[in-house]
Structure 1
Amino acid sequence: MPREREGENKLKKCCIIFILLLLCTGCWDLKEINQLAIVNVVGTDKDPETGTYTGYYQVVNPTGISNRQGGASQASVYTFHFKEYSFGRFTVRTSTAMPRLLFTAHMQCYIISERYARDGVLDLINFLELNPERRTNLLFLVSDSPLSTVMHTFTPLERSPGRFVRSLLDLHVRSAQTQVAPIRLKDLIEGLPLNQPTVIPIVHYNGQQPASNTKEVEEIDAIKNGLSFTDGAVFIHGRMAGRIEMKMKQVFAILRNDLKAFAETMKVNGAYVDVGASNARIKREWDRSASRLTLKIYADLRITNNQQKSRMTVHNLHDVEKAFNRRLTQRAESLIQLGLKKDWDFLGIQDERHDIDSWRQVKITFQVSSKVTTTGNTSTPYN
């Protein structure tokens, strides 16, 4: 009997809860999706002479991005642009042209022009940080192409340009075997007090005219009139101080211990050999009495392409390892020399030693060691 009564009590409680759920009307703060202008990408340019901002809002079109068949084809996104002298006025300006309420909670990335980046973005950072509703944990990019062109371009494979950018960068992060990538606005903010640069990806448009019509991305050549990532923008204290090429950007990520996997090509016995490095790790050793910093780098190697005509032997594998060690050492030394020339402390020595004037006098040496762990299915090439 006690068990039956206990079961009846549980049933009564469930019925009461179910009835109360029927009476609930949901959260009154939720807004209908057809009342919102869901922003996917935001772009900002600043005229250094007049101080006028140009804001671009790429708004998702729910009917255009859906996979429903039939009916007239519609664009997946629409771009609105406005000019103002203050960031706070953009919300008001959007209401003059957008028939929906501006909604930025689902924004994928923030793109700024190169001239704005070189002028400094502290005003943008202060504006975003002032309001807790504005997100800083989103992708942050610099465009070396006209921002109006980038913001009026459709992308292949992904109907939403914002999702295209995020998918491409997420793929880079996964292939690098790391969860860390300094590509968010939050990372730029965290690097403001530091002397070590923050390197932000640069997005480039490969055509002459923007692909502002969906028919223009239906060509088989997906690179033409499309977006790609090239060099890296070097930011110091919230201002773009210059740019580095993709190879230098890769070495910088390795020295920061952010890049665990990468590809390298070198010549071994007069022939090209491609290797994939994985499980890369770096260790710093200070000899403060001699003002010397030694960086020890280790990586496992997998041979992905071997143009040598000779049979793969233990001696030949050692040649590959030595060639990789020399190549990575040369690239790391080139990055340090570039930093000395440009006054960029890529290793963050000033932040570690708290001595701004003496970082140039620190002797930096590299010790790279590697081991070939995978050679492929054949050891003898076909001749």
Structure 2
Amino acid sequence: MKELKKGIMIMMTGILLCCTTGCWDKNELNELAIGELVGADRDPDTGKQTVYYQIVNPEAVAAQKGGGIKAPVYTYCVQADSTSELGTKTANLLPRKLFSDHYQSEIVTERYAKQGLNSLLNFFEKQHNRRSNLYLFVTDSPLSEVMMTYLPLERLPGRSLRSIIEIQSKLTGRLSRRVRIKDLVENMESSRLTVMPMISLSGSSPSPTTDRYEKIEANQGNLIFSGGAVFKNDRMIGKLPLNQMNYYFILKGESEVFMESLTINNRTVDVQAIKPKVRRRLDLISGEPVWKVDISTKLSLVNNEQKNELTLENLKMIEEKFKQQVFQKATEFYQESISKEWDLFGLEEKIKYQNGKEWDDMKKRGIAWDKTKLQLSIKSEITDIGQTINPYVGDNDGNSSN
């Protein structure tokens, strides 16, 4: 019996060992060029493709013991007339095997996005590792400068861009985490539009050397989020300004948080909507399509510059102002997108799959999706006023006492 148990234990151990992961392909770290960020451009006149690979320098990423600052990444540039030629030229240039499994982000130029990203998207989808969960960015700055600059604080640029997504989605609501390559691919065969983040290089010149780590000024030569690139299928057709991005995501129901700055009693009051609940549905009212969006949220006072006491009446005033302002701006944004024939919310597809006699009659009358009216309802309640109830007023007359 003991021998049987011992045999079973040995057999189970062998099975578990077979399930463990390891370097089965015998690829050592010093044999790999670990890609961290990739940038792509295509010349509309010649069709020539340009790809930038940012390769991690493991020695610089690890804790350094004296000896000064080392380059955290190295950028390689490859130009070719086809995707297959890009692979050949990359192999000729890199002294190590390109390892793409650790790509953090992908950047494409605005002119490339306007030509259409079909070939690029299909390339990612065909790979066995399917790195389509990468965040995709469009840049209106020269790609050579974007890819040839070191960033402050977070030294791996690809990871820094991922952090922009995480921070904006959690703190401002101007971005959603659903801005990956796969999210663009999902809408390629439909009428739905996709909005991907746009980034720009701040300052007049890039920061191509590690000297920037010895300077205190961090604004210049940094990558900043600057708006949204609107895609139809695989092609960029327009831009959303930065101040409209939060209204786009809250109407889509993808906001984790929502920020709004109000003016109350001629003073600024900033409020934060925490995890807003958004209910959306499409109805017919008097034979006309109506898109009903109901927003319900709890509010937190982030900043209150009023001199007035924070009474119940004052709180109600803030709540009402929040509802009025969000209603007005969200409605204006929706109407503007309709006037541009941008189906940002997939209304055409929603109407197409509606069933029933009334919907059939509406379709026969040839009423298009762009005739859909927005019916917006907002409910909000302030539940968090911060640590202090009333603000400190100091000397209101501006006089100092001796």
Q: TM-score, normalised by structure 1?
A: 0.91
Deviation (angstroms), 1:87: 1.2
User: Quick check: 1:215 aligned with 2:211?
Assistant: yes
Corresponding position of 1:352: 350
Q: Say which of 270, 283, 305 aligns to 2:303.
A: 305
Alpha carbons 1:196, 1:351 under 8 Å: kept: yes
Report the equivalent of 1:258. Answer: 254
Please report how far the alpha carbon of residue 175 of structure 1 lies from its aligned counterpart in structure 2 after TM superposition.
3.6
Q: 2:53 aligns with which of 51, 57, 63?
A: 57
Q: How many residues align?
A: 377
Write the letter of the residue equivalent to 1:192.
Answer: M
Within the candidate set 373, 391, 397, 1:381 is matched to 391
Matched, 1:192 2:192: no
Q: Distance in 2 between matches of 1:17 and 1:260?
A: 46
Distance 2:133 2:31 in 1: 25
Equivalent-residue separation in structure 1 for 2:35 and 2:98 (angstroms): 7
Give the Cα separation in 2 of the matches to 1:352 and 1:66: 51
Q: Is the 8 A contact 2:165 2:175 kept in 1?
A: no
Contact 2:168 2:175 (8 Å CA) reproduced: no
| Residue-by-residue CA offset, 1:29-55 (whole Å, 9 max, x unaligned) | 131111111111110001111111101
CA distance, structure 1, for counterparts of residue 265 and residue 203 of structure 2: 40
Q: By how many angstroms is 1:28 displaced?
A: 4.3
For 2:125 and 2:273, the matched residues in 1 are separated by: 39
Residue 33 of structure 1: aligned partner: 29
| Pairing 1:76–2:108 present | no
Which amino acid in the other structure matches residue 369 of structure 2?
Answer: W
Q: Give the conservation status (yes or no) of the 8 Å contact 1:136–1:186.
A: yes
Residue 152 (structure 1) aligned with residue 148 (structure 2): yes
CA-CA distance at 1:159 after TM superposition: 1.9
The residue that corresponds to 2:334 in the other structure is 336
Paired residues for 1:246-285 under 5 Å:
246-285=242-281
DSSP-derived class of the 2:93 partner? coil
1:78-126 CA-partner distances (Å, limit 9, x unpaired): 0000111111221110122211111101111110001101111111112
Match of 2:359 in 1: none
Aligned pairs (5 A) from 1:165-176 = 165-175=161-171
Closer, same or farther in 2 for the Cα pair 1:258/1:335, shift >3 Å? same
Give the C-alpha shift of residue 135 in structure 1.
1.3
Contact 2:33 2:96 in 1 (8 A): yes
Q: Which residue of 1 aligns with 2:230?
A: 234
Whole-angstrom distance in 2 between the partners of 1:251 and 1:124: 30
Consecutive unaligned residues in structure 1, runs of 5 or more? none
Conserved 8 A contact 1:278-1:300? yes
- SS, match of residue 364 in structure 1: strand
Distance 1:352 1:12, change over 3 A: closer
Q: Which runs of 5+ in 2 are unaligned?
A: 353-362, 394-402
Mapped to 2, the partners of 1:281 and 1:70 lie a distance apart of 51
CA distance in 2, matches of 1:316, 1:96: 69
Q: Distance in 2 between matches of 1:178 and 1:172?
A: 6
Segment drifting more, 229-238 vs 336-345: 336-345
Q: Cα–Cα, structure 1 residues 371 and 46, in superposed 2: closer, same or farther, change >3 Å?
A: same
Q: TM-score, normalised by structure 2?
A: 0.87
CA RMSD after TM alignment: 2.6
Q: Is the 8 A contact 1:251 1:332 kept in 2?
A: yes
Contact residue 262 and residue 278 of structure 1 kept, 8 A: yes
Tell me if 1:206 matches 2:185: no
Residue type of the alignment partner of 2:185: I
The 5-angstrom pairing of residues 282-293 of structure 1 reads 282-290=278-286, 291=288, 292-293=290-291
